[in-house]
Amino acid sequence: MKILLPPSETKRPGGSGAPLSLKGLALSALAGQRDAVVSALVTLAADRSAAARVLKLSERQLGDIDHNAALRSAPTMAAVDRYTGVLYDALDAASLDAAARRWLDRHVWIHSAPFGPVSALDAIPMYRLAAGASLPELAPLRRHWADATSQAMAQEPSTFMLDLRSEAYVALGPVPASVPSAYVRVVTDEGRALNHFNKKAKGELVRALALDRPRVHTVVGLQKWALSRGMTIRRGDTEDTIELVVSS
């Protein structure tokens, strides 16, 4: 099983890892796409007013331009530790033992706008780029990433993909039709979709999977495991959608 997570706008600064190695990231076939986005961000950072406008930065966010300027030389840290916010606070990867973190690295991809999907322990620098941004001299990110990312996913030896991404990041790389998958929606017992608790529930789900490390290859297998955990996962209103039910 592969689990697809969205990134977070909020990130932990710093790091002690070596500078970014695009070829060392998961899905190495995407190295060319990654290099193009990184180059575009570094170039954009040279014009601070343009960077602030394109990235829609507030006055207090202007320091993110410096992070983009240093993308190729800045220290790195594991992607799952770089991101903060509701989902990643609930996942709390830093508190997991080594076996659980290795499981995350094998089974979780975090889908970022500049790097595409990366494994949980892939080392990435601090950056600023959202899925909806349009960079000068580069095709819109959806067009830049979507086909190449789907093709790269199709080459991975995975029998089942669990998609926990937001729609904006799904657009940057839809799971190919050739790969069995399920898109996760977080709902109440009555079927009402949630916002804040959506992210928290997804983080808790991935944490529980990392702790238990079940062998899951289908939706039915995932449902059986969830039941053993006291969780409810049910089929959604479309064939490729499932619902993670939380108390309202």
Tens-place pLDDT, residues 166-198: 999 999 999 999 999 999 999 998 878 777 689
| Spatial separation of the C-alpha atoms in residues 101 and 103, rounded to whole Å | 5
As for how many domains the chain has, the answer is 1
- pLDDT at 166 (0 to 100): 95
Angle between helix 141-154 and helix 31-45 axes, rounded to 10 deg: 150
Q: Identify the H or E element spanning 77.
A: strand 77-78
- pLDDT at 231 (0 to 100): 95
Q: Using one digit for the tens of pLDDT, what is the confidence trace for 61-90?
A: 999 999 999 999 999 999 999 999 999 999
Q: At CA 116, angle to CA 113 and CA 122, rounded to 5?
A: 110
pTM above 0.75, yes or no: yes
- Name the average pLDDT for the chain: 95
221-242 per-residue burial string, b: 16 or more CB within 10 A, e: under 16: ebbebbeeeebebeebeeeeeb
The domain in which residue 74 lies consists of 2-245
Q: At CA 48, angle to CA 42 and CA 53, rounded to 5?
A: 100
Pairing of strands 77-78, 232-235: unpaired
Q: Using one digit for the tens of pLDDT, what is the confidence trace for 101-131?
A: 999 999 999 999 999 999 999 999 999 999 9
Contact between 34 and 20 (Cβ < 8 Å): no
Phi, psi of 80, rounded to the nearest 5 degrees: -65, -20
| Spatial separation of the C-alpha atoms in residues 174 and 11, rounded to whole Å | 24
Mean pLDDT to the nearest integer, 32-41: 98
Q: Using one digit for the tens of pLDDT, what is the confidence trace for 2-18?
A: 999 999 999 999 999 99
The sign of the dihedral angle between the CA atoms of 185, 187, 11, 68 is positive
Residue 124 CB-density burial (10 A; 0-12 exposed, 13-18 middle, 19+ buried): buried
Mean pLDDT to the nearest integer, 191-220: 91
- Cα Rg of the chain (Å, integer): 18
Nearest to residue 96, comparing CAs of 194, 213, 184?
213
Tokens describing residue 94: 């830093």
How far is Cα of residue 235 from the mean position of the Cα atoms in its chain?
23
